[in-house]
């Protein structure tokens, strides 16, 4: 199957576009750069893994994609906390990133046999 046919790749690509749109007016260039790089890394690593010759190599790049999803979730929490992204929009982006991460984990299981899954918590709690 070509990577373009994978729902996880389609959703990850859409998420990357959503992150770019959410940050289009941001002047925080450091965090913006980190977030867009992490977001783009998710579908890019899925695609690169699917283009590899072996299941093990495919799984390796899927692990990179899953790691980038975790990185992006962390950065979204920070962006919400500092007011760069609205809480509601941040929650939607986090939910999507975590769902994509779960989809990647399922694909890794197919490729490799096992993967550590993360817990899903969609609540963004303001710091007191």
| 119 occurs within a structural domain | no
CA 31/CA 65 separation, integer angstroms: 19
* Containing structural domain, residue 74: 3-112
Of 41, 40, 35, nearest to 22 by C-alpha is 35
| 124 occurs within a structural domain | no
Average pLDDT, the chain: 90
- Choose between 113 and 65: higher pLDDT: 65
What total number of domains does the chain contain? 1
| 120 occurs within a structural domain | no
- Whole-model pTM: value is 0.86
CA–centroid distance for 6 within its chain: 15
| 122 occurs within a structural domain | no
| 16 occurs within a structural domain | yes
Which tens digit of pLDDT belongs to each residue from 31-57?
999 999 999 999 999 999 999 988 999
Provide the percentage of residues in the chain whose pLDDT is more than 70. 87
Which tens digit of pLDDT belongs to each residue from 74-91?
999 999 999 999 999 999
CATH number at residue 26: 1.20.1440.60
At residue 114 the predicted structure's pLDDT band, cuts being 50, 70 and 90, is low
Lowest pLDDT segment from 38-42, 43-47, 60-64, 110-114 = 110-114
Q: What's the CA angle centered on 78, arms 77 and 83, to 5 degrees?
A: 100
pLDDT for res 118: 53
Residue 115 pLDDT greater than 60, yes or no: no
CB 72 within 8 A of CB 38: yes
At residue 127 the predicted structure's pLDDT band, cuts being 50, 70 and 90, is very low
């Amino acid at each position: 199957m070509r990577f373009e046919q994978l729902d996880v790749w389609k959703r990850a690509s859409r998420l990357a576009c959503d992150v770019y749109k959410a940050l289009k007016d941001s002047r925080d260039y450091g965090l913006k750069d980190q977030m867009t790089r992490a977001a783009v890394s998710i579908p890019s690593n899925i695609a690169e893994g699917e283009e590899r010759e072996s299941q093990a190599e495919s799984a390796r790049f899927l692990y990179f994609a899953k790691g980038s999803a975790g990185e992006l979730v962390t950065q979204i929490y920070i962006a919400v906390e500092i007011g760069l992204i609205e809480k509601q929009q941040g929650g939607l982006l986090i939910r999507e990133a975590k769902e994509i991460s779960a989809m990647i984990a399922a694909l890794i299981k197919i490729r490799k046999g096992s993967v550590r899954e993360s817990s899903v918590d969609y609540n963004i709690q303001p710091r007191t």
